[in-house]
Each structure stands twice: as structure tokens, then as C-alpha cells.
Structure 1
Amino acid sequence: MTYKLEQINDQAARDPKGFIEGSERRYHTQVEQTAASIVACMKQRPIVLLNGPSSSGKTTTARLLGEALMGHGVHAEVISMDDYYRTRSEYQIPKDEEGVDDFESPLCMDLPLLNDHLQRLAAGEEICVPHFDFEKQSRTDEVECLSLDPDEVAVIEGIHSFSDTITGGLEDKATCLYLSVASSVSLSDGTVLAPEMLRFMRRAIRDRNFRGAPVEATLRQWRSVRRGERLYIAPYRHHATQYIDSYLPYESCILMQMLQAEIAGREEEMRAVGLHEVFRAIGCFAEIDYQPYLPENSVLHEFIG
């Protein structure tokens, strides 16, 4: 779906409460409908593989999906593949063709452990899931032991969750859910902010807030992120049987206000990584009075806190 800037700004100024509530309702309705579909086939497919590109909101959606399933009387064990990243100091980070660290590569993950855990979980055995600290870039001593009972489902989220190499055919026993920002925004001059550009805005704020990375670091990494999506996600999208668009039309008003001072003066850097349209959007989005109306379970909290 393509949203027009004028409509976004009008709703942000005229009725911020209604704008936010309507945007959230559209997203949560998709989550509820997906939960109902999972319950309908859980006996044959007790695993949910949640895939999607960077900053789609996989962590929050996995949690909300678990809550929606509880509404149907089904308990969900939620596992993030991010917790299977290896401690940064213990391996040589792979590089892309331009010599940039390729953190999207599955080689950054503990593949033997992850594959073993997925297969054991599907077989009903107990596993002990590790925990990865992104600020320290290291695995902690924390583990969470769990097993999958006959009346439970497992929700496994991560950018590699559809990969044949990692899941080892697990998709045959799973509902494959693809989450993305599937919407775009058309500016007044005809410039279009494509889905990946809207995701960049999310990621830049998230990296700054939660991963100790300034905007310039996200910009340096962005081309490698997009390369990783083409190599590690796109080839496996055909596994998807369910889809959710996590874009909240009001979010761009908030994210651009947070981001614009940091990207001002970076026009050439942004052009070089395919984000010149985001630079052109500086000052275009209206401010929105969101704090009184932003729900606690909004996917936007994953990025702004």
C-alpha cells in the first residue's frame, strides 16, 4: 500500500489519537488473524518460522503473536535466532565484496548449536537457549531451558528462519510467516519512500538507542544489510504462507523528527547507499502528539524505546 504524505500529515495534525489507534488496529488485526490460522493447523505444523528483513519488527511481532495464541488457549515458546550469534571476539567476521563487515551472514551464528536445537525442539526434546547481549556483542551466561509439549507451538524468529541450510527442512513442519514493511510513502513532489527506506529510519533509531551505534555507523552498514537481504532472505521467501505488514503510517512523523538532525548534511553519504529519498524527506513530515496515545504493545517501541 502507498500512503500519501498529505494524508499522513493531515491525520497527524487533525486527529493524532485516531490516527495512531487506526494504524495500530490494522497491524494487530493482522497478528490476530495469523494466530487463528496457526491454531487451525497446529497439529500438523507445531512450529512457526517468522522471517523478515532488518527492522521489520520481528521481536515484537513474535511476542504479540504468542499473546494472541494464548487468547486461543495455545501456549507459545518464543525463540529469537539473534540469541545464537557468536561472541564477536571468538571468530573472524566475514566481509562483503566492499570489505564491510557482513553481520547478516549466517556464519556469524553458532550454526551447529542452532540447527541441533531446532531439530530437537521439533522432536519434543528439551533445549537450553542461549542469550546474546548486543551492546557487549557477546553471549552471556544466561540460558532458558524449554521443550515443546503436544499442545504448544514454537515461534522462531530471525532473518535466517526460512533458510534450508539452517532449518534443515523444518519448514515442512511449520507455518512460515513473512513479516515486512510492505508499504511506501509518496511525498508531495512525487518522491517515493520505498519500504526499505522506511525500515532504515527504524533501524537508525534502534541502533542508536539500543546497540550503541550512531547514525553514521548504520549508514556505513546499510549497503551490506541490503546485500544480506538479497542473499539470505529473498531466495527463501517462497516458503511463506502467511504475511504481515508491520508499517504504522503515523510512525514516519515520529522517526523523522528523531532522525532529521542527524542526517542533515549527509546527502552524499545517503545517496551513495540508496537513501537519497530519505534525505529529501527531511522536514516533510508533520510533528505528531504521540506520547499520550502510543500503546504499550506498539511495535514502534522496538525502535524508539
Structure 2
Amino acid sequence: MSRSNKQEKQSKYEEYKKQRPKKLRDMSAFIKECDQKLSERMDGISREICANSEIKLIGLIGPTCAGKTTAANMLEKSFSAMGKKLHTISIDDFYYDADILHRQSRDGEIDYDSPDTIDVAELRRFVKEIFANDRSHCPIFDFTIGKRNGYREYECGENDIFLFEGIQVLYPEISRIFSDSGHPSVEIYIAPQGSLETGGRVFVPNEIRFMRRIVRDRKFRGAEAEFTFRLWKSVRENEEKNIFPYVEKCKYSIDTTMPYEIGVLKPFLVSALEHIPTNSPYRKEADEMLLKIENVIPISHELIPDNSIYKEFV
């Protein structure tokens, strides 16, 4: 997204904040407008890819809390409207069993973002099978038991396309599998890429993702903010090492920054951050974040449409 478009979104957000006391439907309309622009971007990318009938492999890459899961669902609908069947494959399904990973880890803690956790040979087999047979079989990794639990079968017909989703897709060990397949592939990078100015403060992309992660972890994964703070350093180190250096390889880029999002996140953030104990090593950072969002006008998450990418976080 161009700088002028980002600035336009920001100015519209400030304008809508001023109008907000009049009617909630003004903010609701603005939210729908932002989501519609993202949907149109997805549709445009889908049309371009479908125009090349040789493309059977797509990589959807992004750092944590980029919106990959919902984006994959949106792309599936776009491809379906064009007569194509898009199969979303999670790279997570190619993890080694947890007992193997525990033995390989240095301190007993499994770093699921590490390239070493992926069974590259199994992934290579699956990709080869896509082009060799009319059926392919993808393993199913069950996190509740920490191991593979069966296989999922996919058709590999003329109109079937496979989208591989996960932060690991750009890892050299993984991307090499697609380039070695002998068939053209394309990568899509997705992440918040623009800063937001609201409440008199500026929020940069990595900060926005961190806020999303705090809210998502607490709401959907039962993890308190202190846990997310503790993990964040290693998450960011992995992104800087294994994702961001390779982003320029991606043909397409999708910016998931939503001009309204800090207002939507605020009530959830306040609740999560206030639960961090006073003696926690992250209490100071939590207080700094609370201070930064203090003047942000809250926006009800109930205004978010059910098909919005933001439902992934709130």
C-alpha cells in the first residue's frame, strides 16, 4: 500500500473519531469500508494468479499476528468465485512429533518457529505427490497429543491449487522445495505494514502486531499477557532471522493495518495488561503501553463484521 493511501486512511480515522458521538453507524460504515478495501486487494491478487494456469503452488507468508489464517479463507473464496479450488495447507502439519523435538532441543523447550522443527522430507514428498498423482496426502499434526494423527486427502486436478500457509514458508529449507518442484510458484507476504497515529501517539507495525498478539493469546489461547511478553523477544528474533530477510522474494504484498484497530484493541489491552503482577519484570513495559493508549478512543468490537480479518484477534 502506498504512503498516500496510508495517510488517507489515517486522516479518515481521525475524521470519523470526531463524528463518532453522532451515530455509531458512521464508525461501522468506516470499518466496513476498510475491510472492503482489503477484500478487493485479495480479489485482485487472486485474479492475477488465476490468469496463469501453470501456477499450482502459492506461499502465504507473514510474521505472527499478520492475519494469515483469515487471509487464507478470504483467498479461498476469491479463487472459488473464479472456478478454482484453493486448498490451504498449514506448514504446522509437517512438524516432527513432539518427543523427537524434545530430544533435539537444547533445554527441553520446543521452539516451533525454528526451521529444524519441520519434517522437510515429508513436505517434499507431499509436494511431489501433488504433481505425480490425482490424489495427495497431507499429514495432520494434532497439537493436543503432540504428534501426527492420520492424513488428509486432496484432489490434484486441473483446477486445484495449493496454498501453503505459515511463517516458515520463506525459510530457505522450505522455499527450496517449491523451487525444486519444477513448477512455477508464487509467494504472498502479509503483515501490518503501515504506522497508525491516534490518540496523539504513533503505533508502528511491530508494536501493532504485539498488541494483537497480547489480545489474541488471552482471548483464544488462554495465555495471560505476561506469558506473551516473555515470548515476544524470541518471536521477534526469529522473524528478523528467518522471515524479514527474504520478504523481497515475494511477488505480492498485503498490508493488514486497519485504521480502526487500536481503538478496538484498547479495552482488551487494558484488561490484559492490568492483570500483570506488580512484581513482574514486564510491569514497567505494561504501564508504558497503558499510558500510550490512554487517549485512544475505544471502539466496540461488536462493530467488526463477522467476515473481517480482525475477527482473528478479537
Q: Report the TM-score, using the length of structure 1 for normalisation.
A: 0.85
Query: C-alpha separation between the residues in 2 aligned to 1:146 and 1:261?
Result: 43
Name the structure 1 match of 2:119. Answer: 110
Identity %: 27
Query: C-alpha separation between the residues in 2 aligned to 1:173 and 1:221?
Result: 36
Query: C-alpha separation between the residues in 1 aligned to 2:269 and 2:145?
Result: 25
> Which has the higher relative contact order, 1 or 2, with Cα contacts under 8 A spaced 6 or more apart?
1
Name the structure 1 match of 2:128. Answer: 119
More displaced stretch, 204-213 vs 193-202: 204-213
Q: Is 1:61 aligned with 2:74? A: no
Name the structure 1 match of 2:31. Answer: 20
Q: Is 1:230 aligned with 2:243? A: no
Deviation at 1:23, TM superposition (A): 1.3
Query: C-alpha separation between the residues in 1 aligned to 2:240 and 2:140?
Result: 27
Letter of the 2:114 partner, please give it: S
Q: Is 1:285 aligned with 2:293? A: no
After the TM superposition, which residues 19-98 of structure 1 pair with which residues of structure 2 at under 5 Å, given as runs? 19-41=30-52, 43-92=53-102, 94=105
Q: Verify the 8 A CA contact 1:27 1:248 in the aligned structure 2.
A: no
Q: Any gaps of 5 or more consecutive residues in structure 2?
A: 1-5
Letter of the 2:263 partner, please give it: C
Query: C-alpha separation between the residues in 2 aligned to 1:276 and 1:303?
Result: 22
Match of 1:149 among 138, 149, 157: 157
Give me the CA root mean square deviation: 2.9
Q: Helix, strand or coil for the counterpart of 2:309? A: coil
Query: C-alpha separation between the residues in 2 aligned to 1:188 and 1:209?
Result: 24
Deviation at 1:26, TM superposition (A): 1.4
Match of 2:137 among 94, 106, 128: 128
Match of 2:184 among 173, 184, 187: 173
Q: Helix, strand or coil for the counterpart of 1:183? A: coil
Q: Report the TM-score, using the length of structure 2 for normalisation.
A: 0.83
Q: Verify the 8 A CA contact 2:142 2:149 in the aligned structure 1.
A: no
Match of 2:304 among 284, 294, 302: 294
Name the structure 1 match of 2:313. Answer: 303
Q: Helix, strand or coil for the counterpart of 2:190? A: strand
Query: C-alpha separation between the residues in 1 aligned to 2:188 and 2:21?
Result: 35
More displaced stretch, 67-76 vs 166-175: 166-175
Query: C-alpha separation between the residues in 2 aligned to 1:114 and 1:262?
Result: 38
Q: Verify the 8 A CA contact 1:124 1:149 in the aligned structure 2.
A: no
Size of the alignment, in residue pairs?
296
- Report the structure, 1 or 2, having the larger helix content: 2
Query: C-alpha separation between the residues in 2 aligned to 1:95 and 1:20?
Result: 46
Deviation at 1:104, TM superposition (A): 1.5
